[in-house]
Structure 1
C-alpha cells in the first residue's frame, strides 16, 4: 500500500444502459469541457474494425484532476497512469488518444456513451455492481482502497476521531459511499465536493477535519503538501476498470487484449513504475 510504497509492492486505488433521446443527448454534449477534442462525433472504423465516435481517434472521457491517474502537468498537457495505459489501447487500434474532461457521474452512468461523446472512460473508476448495470468494464487493471487525509498536526489518527467534525467527500465516488455508510456510527457529517483537489485542499485549508478518497491520490497529495498526511486506510477490495458502452463489444475485446499484452511484455510494469516508483504487484 502507499503507506510503504517505497519498500513494498503497491496496492492502490478511486465507483442498465442509460438511454438518452433527442434533447437530453444534445444537452449532455454541451456539458463537457474538452481538453483536446473539438470535432463533431461521427462513426469511423479503426484499423481493427472497432467503431469509434471520431475518425482516427480513441476518444476517452475522464474527470480532472485525479493525480497521478489523470491530471494536467505544468504545460497544460493531460498526463497520468490512466493516460499512458489508454495510449497502449489506442496504439493497438492504430489511432491516437483524445481526452475529454467531463463530470464523473456522466462517465459512470454511461451517459457519455449513449450521447456518443466518448468511446471509453478512464478516470480511476472503481468497478461496482451498480455501475455494471449501466456500462461495460474492461478487465481490472488496478487495485485500490480508501484512505483518510488530515492535517499533520490535527491529532486525528482514525475515522472515529472525526466525531463532531466535517469529513470531505467527492461526489459519485465509492469513498463517499463509505463515508455516508459510517457517518451515523462515527458521529461526523459529510461535505460533498465536485472533485478531488477541492476536497483535499479543504483539509489543507483547515475548513474540514479530513477527507476520504482513493489511497493513491491521497498519498500523492500528501507528498506534495507535507502539512497533510494519510493516517488510515480501509481495505475495501476495490479494483479500477476502464468502462464503455454495453454494446461496444469489439472495443471491449480490443481493450482487454491490449491490457493483457501490456502485462505480458512488461509495458504495464514500466508504466506502473513510472508513476508509482515501484514494480507492479504480482497478481
Structure 2
C-alpha cells in the first residue's frame, strides 16, 4: 500500500514528488494550500508535506503537532520578476536586498522567523556580482558600488 505524501503543487516540489513517488513508494496528494497539507498530516491523511524550507520550518516552529523532518538544500532559489525594460527599478530593488544581505538584516529575519542560523553559503547572505540573476536573460555582470541608507 502506498503511503500518501502531501504536496501543494509548487513547480519544484511537484516535480520532485511526481518523479520520486514510485521510487520511494508513496502516493502524491495535492492540496490547494500548504496549511491544508499540514492539516492532512496532523489528521493522519498524509504522512508528510513538502514545501519550501522556510515555510515548512516556520510552520513546524509554530505547531507542536508537526516537525521539520528533512531539509533539502540543493541550490534551488527563487527570485523576483521584472520587465526587461525595468532595469532601473530592478537595480534599486536588488541594491536594497544586497544591503540587507550585507548588514545582516536578512540573516536576522531568517533567524527570527525560522529559527537557526543561515548557512554561510546561502543565497540569503550572498551578494552576487552585477544586477539580475547570473545565467539568466537580462543579467548585467557590470560591477557596481553598493549604496545603503
Q: Could you say which residue in structure 2 is the equivalent of 1:200?
A: 38
Q: Could you say which residue in structure 1 is the equivalent of 2:142?
A: none
- Are the structure 2 counterparts of residues 232 and 268 from structure 1 closer, same or farther at C-alpha, using a change threshold of 3 Å? closer
Instruction: Summarize deviations over 1:144-195 as a string: whole Å, max 9, x none.
Output: xxxxxxxxxxxxxxxxxxx612111112331111111101222222111111
TM-score by length of 2: 0.67
What is the CA-CA distance between 1:261 and the residue it aligns to? Answer: 1.9
- Are the structure 2 counterparts of residues 246 and 191 from structure 1 closer, same or farther at C-alpha, using a change threshold of 3 Å? farther
Corresponding residue SS for 1:256: helix
Instruction: Summarize deviations over 1:87-137 as a string: whole Å, max 9, x none.
Output: xxxxxxxxxxxxxxxxxxxxxxxxxxxxxxxxxxxxxxxxxxxxxxxxxxx
Which of the two has greater helix per residue?
Answer: 2
Q: Could you say which residue in structure 1 is the equivalent of 2:6?
A: 168
Q: Could you say which residue in structure 2 is the equivalent of 1:209?
A: 47
CA distance in 2, matches of 1:185, 1:251: 45
CA distance in 2, matches of 1:245, 1:198: 33
Q: Which has the higher contact order (CA 8 A, sep 6+)?
A: 1
Q: Could you say which residue in structure 2 is the equivalent of 1:219?
A: 57
Whether 2:108 is the aligned partner of 1:240: answer no
TM-score by length of 1: 0.38
CA distance in 2, matches of 1:215, 1:269: 15
CA distance in 2, matches of 1:196, 1:280: 23
Q: Could you say which residue in structure 1 is the equivalent of 2:26?
A: 188
